[in-house]
Structure 1
């Protein structure tokens, strides 16, 4: 099917999320956990044309309402605040919005550490439907997967594979029809699920196809898949193949290739030198070689080109808002205005039209010893920057191993090379704390850890009279000076 046909079908697959958006309108009250208050469920059910039980503990227990609610929030159709949710206008490909919404629901219905279980199970259900096999075969299909065990930790866990729940979810999204058969949208989704599967990557896979599979993944997952592809190849030869394919790829695929090749360190230097003659890879190569003491590095024009490149990759991976924060952190829209990257003009137009606003989060940082601080931080702050803030507040003088834990996923500085930890510089507080009440754990010096709990108390509008980050629980000029040295972009700028 054509891209436009898939987009049309995806719009229909999001119909319940869109109906919820219209019903939410200027605002509907929510609980501290960001779901509809039980008193709102009858009206929401009427808007969607679904039934709800007579007694409901929480909206999260009513899948026909909770699933489109989660999808609508993830796709940007609604924004959930501290006390209410409001409808939002969103500009994007309906197919990508549909997949984003589905992924969010699958993550919410997964209870394994990496939040993959529901995705693994739904992949097997789609495979059975694609093969016109009975649903009884789903268990056998799951057992062929590397992450088979996660499928049992999904939906309402009973010790058995919750196949019927997976079927209900896929049907509600339009991937299966009323007779549990694969729809054209479901076939498209199945292709995407297979492309993201760990065992789908072999050394025989063409390099351009590998890049397409690596592009949407977090860096740690991309690295594991890339190692499958490298197989017995010498790193320098595999790097040369990957970078050659990247020269003619989309920015997000090129950045994925650059990240993988960078992981091989000095062994890949000959491949980087070879890239100096390529137009799109030359700035990447000059930056990489400079880090090893070779060459003069990038000039101003190349720096602006790279900022645009990485912003486009951020948009493709995590959405337009993340691209906005990246550009803002790197000098603002003026960087795009002066960039000669082919994607700069369109990205500038999209960011200007989106008119994002930066809010401020009030965080409470508590140590297990009882000491605590209250700090105001722009919502675009990364976990990496939050680490520096905590280090200053707590008076930690070194830069020991540290980690954040957010909903079972762990983040740290990739420089430390901690296994199964994601990059703390690639996730922002706006994603970690989408609403007040959310919290995370932080540990500093993993040998003898100082343990902290960080909670988002409020979302605030920025104050032009305040320089952020700002500690509001302690009056200490020296502390203020040390926080000011972080030179973070100000939300009111």
Structure 2
């Protein structure tokens, strides 16, 4: 992902809902319980980890049993330490006490989420570390980890996991993505391994995808207790066969056996916070609700239709209808390259405003840039005495509309249908359109030439574009 262009906007739950979810996650619950248990008699080593003799008591406090009880207790302790729920009270004596962050868990939702984000960083760091047995095997004579023998690059592993989580975020927030649904693990692994321009993956690539799936299976198991994801693990039977041969093409009816992962609402909040921290433009629906109409129209320019509508609805909810309509119309003016799309977003916003806005629309009936959309709005509501548009205004509005659709969608099927319809309904369209005094006239006519399937019509469009450029000295 590039950090130069904005990601699709995410719809976040309220901080109160997210904080409740954070407090109920298994790992933060355990970390908080250990922080309240810790006292002068709790012993830690030089790194702050519980000494081995303390782990059974910690596991008992958490109600953990079985072979993994000590490991889960140690994990919860690390989360408590790194998030400030516990602090080293006496480094020489190796004792601890409750940290300042423990009080935040009973504070505001934002404070709770601050603690959760700190715990999340600990878990993400743990998720990039190989299995403990592998680490022990890789210790050299001096007790240092021999990374060469381990075949593990910590920085590359962390980058790989960040990339996977970034792709999961993108799939979740994109309008045509997974949304609230789960994403198959092979699809996530392939998104990091298989080149976009590759047709049928080679056996070597399939083997890399299979290896990545096994790594991700371990990592998502680690990430689930902090509430980042909901995860349905890879079928154990498939894991047993993974080393014998590359993964075969998936049977869609069987895809859940290969692992399914869903980003939780809390996870979406957490990943967005990390993306913002890393310098990405990661908007959230509602960011523009308290801004001006100019910020709304510019900010939603790159949004999909559903996100733009949701953002606009939040903005309108804070406005008085007539004043909102006037502000939107004023912000929609302009001859710059972004103006047609601003006017399209303005028109979409005004469709959500009631009849109270009518005076604002009547005020701009004679405006060369806004008169067309004002007539459309009034006519759609059955308003009386709507003046008929001039031929010149009809053509100007047509160019403006196509320019906006080009900016919003590119060469989409919907735009191609619009172009075909225009050429079909008006036999002399191109003969008149090149004369339209609109900054985007030539670009629109060129696009129509690209999009129209009829070669003769396409040639007419290109000729009209040439005339338009000649007329305006372009």
TM-score tier, shorter chain, comes to: 0.3 to 0.5
Q: Say which structure, 1 or 2, has more relative contact order (CA 8 Å, 6+ apart).
A: 2
Write 1 or 2 for the structure with the bigger share of helix.
2
Bigger Cα Rg: 2
Question: Structure 1-normalised TM-score?
Answer: 0.37
**Normalising by structure 2, what TM-score?**
0.38
